[in-house]
Structure 1
Amino acid sequence: MADQDAAGVALCERYAVADVDSHIIEPADLWTSRVSSKWGDLVPHVRFHERRQEDYWYIGDRKLYGAGAFAQAGWPEFPPSHPKRLSEALPAALDPKERLAYMDKVGVYYQLMYPNILGFHSHVFLNQMPRELATECVRAYNDWLVEFCSADSRRLIPMMMLPFWDIDESVAEMRRAHEMGHKGVLFAARYDKVGLPRLVDDYWKPLLGQAQEMGLSMNFHVGFLAAPEDLKGAVDQSKKLDFTRESSLVLLGNAQNIAEVILSGVCHRYPDLKFVSVENGAGWLPFLGETMDWQWLNVGAHKDYPDRMLPSEYLRRQIFGMYWFERKSVRAVIDELADNLMFETDFPHATSLSPGPASESPSPRDVIEESLAGLSDEIVGKVLQHTATRLYGLEPPVRS
């Protein structure tokens, strides 16, 4: 049993723990039940793959991935093995009431919900279907997610997707989704990779300005807007050594995004807008801050931009990170960025804090105790609850 505080009460019982990165598993009829049938098979749908004996997501004839590929929590075999049908997955991955019961079991009060297909295959939506249909799919997803979270809208927190390929539609959808209850935006820092202007360009001003005005954070999730070639190493999980290398490096990917918004001047132009690195760990954040400061001063950028702060100052003011498996490195983050750190589980993905027959993971309860043992109540409260509730505007907990 993990150590507890002096009063003998586990940390996850003392605080309303916010898991700021978890995932929903999209139901097979999410889009076919909500999007106009005039688009035919271009509407994302699930059908059975005979050779693989598995249900797969399709857009037209483009095969994406197994419907249960991201629902590996509790699965009895190591990746790449996964449920072949959604009915084989852990019920908490699919059903909101089961999710709430699971959260109670592992000591989590809030969970922020991110997508799978829209998040990790956004390039397919962008390239394989008409923009009108892609936008309709985004709206349908945002609607469905609010319905999923309505099982307990205080604890299950929807995070919106935007039709980023259309700035006017994105501005409108941000307003609409925010009014429905979405608490943050799934976004990217390098839209220039898909032919759109860089984030510092005035093109994005209506969207970023509105997000700042509404108090909505922009959340950079690992793998979002990744090009197909970027995903190749992370997809083939059967080669254990290659997968370990590639997936480890993927978890440093947001360093580019954070450097982009700080050094391009986005943080300077939008001083109240917050950016969150999601599912990328946090141990690298202090190093990145020191690196940017060193280079900023070393090349004389402070002379060319005398009105700018040091990069690390923007990082402290506007950048947030999170951890789930880190132990030693998370202490360095707390020493430097205690106000910027939050906790996540990544449920129900293969790398999540989901103990099972083929998982080395301890429970979230044990991770919390081990990683934060001996720290002050003030710091623990920030990391587990208060930073997240403030950043995302979460309602105060109701304890039975």
Structure 2
Amino acid sequence: MTELPRIVSVDDHVIEPAHLFETWLPARYRDKGPKPLTEGIGELAYVGGKYRITMDPGGPPTDWWIYEDLAFPYKRNIAAVGFDRDEMTLEGITRAEMRRGCWDPVARLADMDLNHVEASLCFPTFPRFCGQTFAEARDKEVALACVLAYNDWMVEEWCGDSGGRLIPLCLIPLWDIGLAVAEIRRNAERGVRAVTFSEIPPYLGLPSIHSGYWDPFFAVCEETGTVVNMHIGSSSQMPAASPDAPPAVQASLSFNNAMASMTDFLFSGVLVRFPRLKLAYSEGQMGWIPYALERADDVWREHRAWGGVKDLVPEPPSTYYYRQIYCCFFRDKHGIASLDAVGRDNATFETDYPHVDSTFPHTKEVALDHVKGLDDETVYKLMRGNAIRMLGLDLDRDRDRDRQWS
């Protein structure tokens, strides 16, 4: 390998600018919509997978969003790039203290250039990973307006002048399937090919994927080529052992939600009914996937009669994984060692900018350390090719055409 291909990162994050809702929310909703505030923070603790937060005028200045009864602070661990490792703490932070690329698209593109990244898909922060903030709101008319405003900002401002380098990732109104389908169509008409969704909807008080409730959503995603992206924590519940365990336990176990969600889908019949639907698991890593697939196939072979899937899932579950599911990684040498079982066509790469896990600004070195010894074609797939195919990106078309005719 003469040079590492420039990376297409399928999991990064954006800190919303303070003007987002003032600019993009229709005027009639602004009084009830989210409002930015800089105020001191008091207690900020993470216990049993949940945050405990208080506001204190005498505390360190912090940028907040105030929305209905919610007071949402930005924390240093979610805007960690630029800080030393031991400074990536659970403290409040203002945008002025953050690296500008957290919330400014021009600065983000410059940081991507520093980090050997060509294109990036960014998950939300204040709305939470799949829009739980708006799903939990009381006034659903305002909440719907907020979802649409966020998506308009994402498409037109965050991504609009990036030349395709910032890839739009949109929300749906989780509380209404009809509105969700309409929003997928609205965004697909302007070129959006990615939506964020909950890894485990029942944890949010929503119907499960087994219920059939979400089938119109899956159908329109299949029809429009919209990838369903599920980030760890998009069920508002991280795996925990003991309720008083330190946050490091949840951080170490975070892949469990992705594993549970993927197993749910493999045995749900969803991927049978929608054979062109694409699912993407974000920040779950991939070293666990070979055994999860082996176990699912064993259960299907040995237990499918009493297990309730004899007629629902006609082929071994791994069949649907290799056909329709993508994973991603950034630090996972066990996954690389098992790449044939993970799937050379299923694995993608991420940088997690600007979170505490981010490989910025050393992503090229981290990636090279993982792919050394792999053939050039596999390296290309992992660093960008699989992401381009998954998201239908207008990149490398000349390369693909030349390969087709070679």
Fold equivalence (TM over 0.5): yes
Structure 1 position 305, deviation (Å): 2.6
- Counterpart Cα distance in 2 of 1:315 and 1:202: 20
Alpha-carbon contact 1:66-1:84 (below 8 Å) kept? yes
Name the SS for the 2:228 alignment partner: strand
Query: What residue number does 1:374 align with?
Result: 373
Residue-by-residue CA offset, 1:310-367 (whole Å, 9 max, x unaligned)? 0111111111100011123322134541110000000001111125xxxxxxx11011
Greater relative contact order (Cα < 8 A, sep 6+):
1
Instruction: Report the residue type matching 1:65 in the other structure.
Output: P
Instruction: Report the residue type matching 1:31 in the other structure.
Output: F
The 5 A counterparts of 1:215-234 are 215-226=225-236, 230=237
- Residue number among 285, 290, 295 corresponding to 1:286 in the alignment: 290
The alignment of Structure 1 onto Structure 2 pairs a total of residues equal to 375
Query: What residue number does 2:45 align with?
Result: none
- Counterpart Cα distance in 2 of 1:232 and 1:203: 25
- Residue number among 92, 102, 105 corresponding to 1:93 in the alignment: 102
Mark the CA change 1:127 to 1:232 in structure 2 (over 3 Å): closer, same or farther.
farther
Query: What residue number does 1:63 align with?
Result: 71
Mark the CA change 1:307 to 1:295 in structure 2 (over 3 Å): closer, same or farther.
closer
- Counterpart Cα distance in 2 of 1:79 and 1:261: 35
Name the SS for the 1:192 alignment partner: helix
- Counterpart Cα distance in 2 of 1:154 and 1:334: 31
Instruction: Report the residue type matching 1:161 in the other structure.
Output: L
Report whether the alignment pairs 1:338 with 2:344: yes
Mark the CA change 1:347 to 1:125 in structure 2 (over 3 Å): closer, same or farther.
same
Residue-by-residue CA offset, 1:152-208 (whole Å, 9 max, x unaligned)? 232110111111211111111111112223221101243233343322333322221
Alpha-carbon contact 2:129-2:231 (below 8 Å) kept? no
- Counterpart Cα distance in 1 of 2:138 and 2:89: 29
Query: What residue number does 1:360 align with?
Result: none
Query: What residue number does 1:32 align with?
Result: 22
Report whether the alignment pairs 1:276 with 2:276: no
Mark the CA change 1:40 to 1:184 in structure 2 (over 3 Å): closer, same or farther.
closer
Query: What residue number does 1:51 align with?
Result: 58
Mark the CA change 1:370 to 1:335 in structure 2 (over 3 Å): closer, same or farther.
farther
Residue-by-residue CA offset, 1:359-390 (whole Å, 9 max, x unaligned)? xxxx1101111100111112111111111111
Mark the CA change 1:334 to 1:370 in structure 2 (over 3 Å): closer, same or farther.
farther
Report whether the alignment pairs 1:113 with 2:122: yes
- Counterpart Cα distance in 2 of 1:206 and 1:111: 28
Alpha-carbon contact 1:212-1:272 (below 8 Å) kept? yes
- Counterpart Cα distance in 2 of 1:105 and 1:233: 36
Query: What residue number does 1:129 align with?
Result: 138
Query: What residue number does 2:404 align with?
Result: none
Alpha-carbon contact 1:22-1:111 (below 8 Å) kept? yes
Query: What residue number does 1:247 align with?
Result: 251
Alpha-carbon contact 1:334-1:341 (below 8 Å) kept? no
- Counterpart Cα distance in 2 of 1:265 and 1:141: 32
Q: Which runs of 5+ in 2 are unaligned?
A: 40-56, 399-406
Structure 1 position 113, deviation (Å): 1.6
Alpha-carbon contact 1:190-1:198 (below 8 Å) kept? yes
- Counterpart Cα distance in 2 of 1:122 and 1:39: 18
Residue-by-residue CA offset, 1:32-77 (whole Å, 9 max, x unaligned)? 3332455566422221222322222221342222266521111245
Alpha-carbon contact 2:225-2:277 (below 8 Å) kept? yes
Query: What residue number does 1:165 align with?
Result: 175
- Counterpart Cα distance in 1 of 2:341 and 2:69: 51
Paired-residue identity, %: 30
Residue-by-residue CA offset, 1:82-113 (whole Å, 9 max, x unaligned)? 56210111112122121111111111111112
- Residue number among 329, 332, 354 corresponding to 2:360 in the alignment: 354
- Residue number among 59, 66, 83 corresponding to 1:75 in the alignment: 83
- Counterpart Cα distance in 2 of 1:141 and 1:16: 29
- Counterpart Cα distance in 2 of 1:104 and 1:120: 25
Query: What residue number does 2:271 align with?
Result: 267
- Counterpart Cα distance in 2 of 1:211 and 1:300: 29
The structure where helix makes up a greater share of residues is 1
TM-score when normalising by structure 1: 0.86
- Counterpart Cα distance in 1 of 2:322 and 2:383: 18
- Counterpart Cα distance in 2 of 1:65 and 1:306: 44
Alpha-carbon contact 1:73-1:90 (below 8 Å) kept? yes
Mark the CA change 1:149 to 1:31 in structure 2 (over 3 Å): closer, same or farther.
same
Structure 1 position 31, deviation (Å): 1.5
Alpha-carbon contact 2:255-2:285 (below 8 Å) kept? yes
- Counterpart Cα distance in 1 of 2:130 and 2:7: 30
Alpha-carbon contact 2:293-2:318 (below 8 Å) kept? yes
- Counterpart Cα distance in 2 of 1:208 and 1:98: 35
- Counterpart Cα distance in 1 of 2:368 and 2:164: 25
- Which moved further from structure 2: 119-128 or 332-341? 119-128
- Counterpart Cα distance in 2 of 1:179 and 1:309: 34
Instruction: Report the residue type matching 2:215 in the other structure.
Output: K
Q: Which runs of 5+ in 1 are unaligned?
A: 356-362
Residue-by-residue CA offset, 1:265-310 (whole Å, 9 max, x unaligned)? 1111111111111111111111110111122222144983386110
Name the SS for the 1:305 alignment partner: coil
Query: What residue number does 2:43 align with?
Result: none
- Counterpart Cα distance in 1 of 2:26 and 2:359: 38
Mark the CA change 1:276 to 1:154 in structure 2 (over 3 Å): closer, same or farther.
same
Alpha-carbon contact 1:75-1:83 (below 8 Å) kept? no
- Which moved further from structure 2: 15-24 or 54-63? 54-63
Give the aligned CA root-mean-square deviation in angstroms: 2.6
